[in-house]
Structure 1
């Protein structure tokens, strides 16, 4: 059980202790006065039961005001989507306005906005290396903020993008040739112009395929291409659809041109949602307040019946 305001519990218990002390002192004085007057209390009589119930009610009320909550397992259906977004130098090209990266960010944000709450979304930014910028989370605002922070840097390694995305899905470092288990509830959506400087694209795609992780690729750019300035040099860059199509086909996904990003919403239908169990807080204050009212009412009623007055 957890408490949102432990200080209120301490204050309430101190009040209860004070009431209990006052009740004991009053009982002793009353017993002494009755003894001096020669009045005997009938055996088995409990004249202070009402006071005890009242004090117990105060104690329960003190616990209730502290905001208690019990952690209970709650089942829910959930899927996982990793948005792998290319941030290599070629994504700075302006053959897609205003730039390829900006277009990819726009499409990624639209995709996130279309997903239901039971889909956890993470973000992986990749160039020659890759970095998980947002772990899979049901709070989609985390993914949106990660998308907005992306900046152009470095070359491109699509194989590294795939293994980094698989690492984000499994929660552990993934390398080529390693058995990572079966993850049918996970999907990778890769936004890239398809240009690749690594040699491990196909092995990485096969690794995803064996784990039953579908990869949907989104081609950003034009086949005609344009030039982009890198370290003072003007380099020709164009959309390479063949590589992106190969990745998608190998893993059971689909290739989507950036001009057709509206169809990305349908990717959610390919996710096999799994049943997960997570601990969630169950507030107990309402039930405890109800119990406290019962105790206080019973205590007041017994006190009135036995003594003719409310203590």
Structure 2
């Protein structure tokens, strides 16, 4: 609650600096406030001890405290309730086309290429609050994992469940992955349509030429960002299967058809990126996120509730208490 507590007239707090001065003035003048009677002898007067003369100083404390509450009330304390409404003026539909071939298990990214991609892509999806996102996976063939949707929970759960299996035909059908992604977006009414196509290999499967698929993307005004995933040189990749069903790993050359990926990006008005490690992959998705920004209109509504009344009431009660004590219990000492 204190985070929303503000003061409309904070300048009145300067008056609080006067209170210590008033207290000092009182204690300097207190001995002169009582009339003095000089007598040659006090014999014959019975001495009495009372704590009231000492307690009479509570009166100035009550008055100063009352003034402090009045000053806070004049500063107009209030709480602010802020509500906001956002509306997207330019929605973007995005399809992530992900290579799930066996080479995506290579360990040049940690823990492997596929898991590194899933982690970075999840952050990207969460950041696209007002956009619709779909997932396409491909190896030797391609299929839609989730259609374009605004339900980020569905997309994130589907992304989390992506893993390599031998159900999909082996190979890397870049053209089919791109064509399936275009098919997901061609009927979209979004102001902007984007494909993020990622692969770690060369087009060696499928019956659709990647350049033909890129021309389809141009026809439907779909921009394509391409990402080549894999370190330069050699990478520890699956080269066979052991008797226990586990993959056998060995160092193999990293082959990415960068020229093809550059041509697809250039043809569709996108850009090509090369991710050689986890950090670079994250930077690429951040850059794409910055390039494809959704225009958002945000309206904020402020509801103010005045809170000076309690301070005014407490100050008044303290002042009344001071006056009652002054003219009753401490009347003989004033």
Q: Return the TM-score normalized by structure 1.
A: 0.55
Equivalent residue for 2:10? none
CA distance in 2, matches of 1:221, 1:128: 19
- Aligned: 1:201 with 2:210: yes
Tell me how far apart the structure 2 counterparts of residues 126 and 92 of structure 1 sit (CA, whole Å): 14
CA RMSD of aligned residues (A): 2.9
SS at match of 1:131: strand
Query: Structure 2 CA distance, aligned partners of 1:227 and 1:211?
Result: 39
Tell me, yes or no, if structure 1 residue 214 matches structure 2 residue 242: no
Pair 1:113–1:169, CA change in 2 (3 A): same
Structure 1 residues 184, 235: closer, same or farther in 2, change over 3 A? farther
Match of 1:242 in 2: 259
Match of 2:111 among 98, 110, 114: 98
Per-residue deviation, residues 58-106 of structure 1 (Å, max 9, x unmatched): xxxxxxxxxxxxxxxx996422000111100111111112111112112
List runs of 5+ in structure 2 lacking aligned partners.
1-86, 242-247, 296-334
How much has 1:270 moved relative to structure 2? Answer: 4.9
> Quick one: distance in 2 between partners of 1:159 and 1:183?
24
Specify the alignment match of 1:295 in structure 2: none
**2-side partners of 1:221 and 1:75: how far apart?**
36
Q: What is the DSSP-based 3-state SS (H/G/I as helix, E as strand, rest coil) of the residue aligned with 1:186?
A: strand
Inter-partner Cα distance in structure 2 for 1:220 and 1:147? 17
Q: Which runs of 5+ in 1 are unaligned?
A: 1-73, 172-180, 275-311
1:102-113 alignment, distance < 5 Å = 102-113=115-126
How far, CA to CA, are the matches of 1:113 and 1:239 in structure 2?
A: 31
Mapped to 1, the partners of 2:105 and 2:153 lie a distance apart of: 25
Query: What residue is the counterpart of 2:286 in the other structure?
Result: 265
Q: Deviations over 1:40-59 (max 9, x none)?
A: xxxxxxxxxxxxxxxxxxxx
TM-score by length of 2: 0.51
Q: How many residue pairs get matched?
A: 192
Quote the offset at 1:223 in angstroms. Answer: 2.2
Bigger radius of gyration, 1 or 2? Answer: 2
